[in-house]
Amino acid sequence: MNKNIVNALAKSYTYNAYREIVSKLITEGKSTGNTQTDDLLHYSELNETRMNRLEKTIKITDDVQTQINQLETKVTWLVIAEGWCGDAAQILPIIYKMAESSKNIDLKIVLRDENDDLMNDFLTNGGMAIPKLIILDEENNVIGDFGPRPEPARKLIADYKAANGVVDEPIKVELQKWYLHDKGVSTQNEIMQLMKSKELV
């Protein structure tokens, strides 16, 4: 058993508790994380609005719901996130809706900057990219992980960076547009493909 997983679970939050922490910090003019800047606070405020909207509009597809209903073993979905992260704001409400639709999925959230050891176990191309969903079995062994973005969004950013050398504001806007049009379908499908590949559904 990974001790970093155990330590993270011990200080993890429910989805609602995570939302409350982020909201409280915003009222204090702060963001989550070790670094405090006006930009991170601004992103946190934008994400608060996004998550409020997504919680009302995101729908689990019939196909994904059918697969979720086939889950017979209990799993924990442990997500590494931060309130200022635009990808986390887009993906967390989807994960929450999926977890809420099954008594066998226990969703837990931890903050990246409070869990360096855990984050270092789940780097993406050497970087501390979030959100990262870690799927755990009943003994808290790692089954698999997803993130920080579904494949079409990953490719959008990778292609732009290859062509322009940076990830700047214009592509960040395009990324948010992609999430808006995708309506959470790619994220749902990729998570369930991962669950299926591990023979959970």
What is the SS3 assignment for 45-67?
HHHHHHHHHHHHHCCCCHHHHHH
Q: Rounded distance, CA 184 to CA 90, Å?
A: 8
pLDDT score for 33: 96
> Nearest to residue 91, comparing CAs of 47, 36, 29?
47
Strand order in the sheet with 142-146: 105-111, 75-81, 132-136, 142-146
Q: What is the CATH number of the domain that holds 49?
A: 3.40.30.10
pLDDT score for 201: 86
Element (H, E) at 119: helix 116-121
pLDDT score for 154: 97
Q: What are phi and psi of 82, to 5 degrees?
A: -150, 150
Number of structural domains in the chain:
1
pLDDT score for 1: 67
pLDDT in 10s for each residue of the chain, 201 residues = 689 999 999 999 999 999 999 999 999 999 999 999 999 999 999 999 999 999 999 999 999 999 999 999 999 999 999 999 999 999 999 999 999 999 999 999 999 999 999 999 999 999 999 999 999 999 999 999 999 999 999 999 999 999 999 999 999 999 999 999 999 999 999 999 999 999 998
Residue 27's domain comprises 3-197
Q: What is the pTM of this model?
A: 0.96
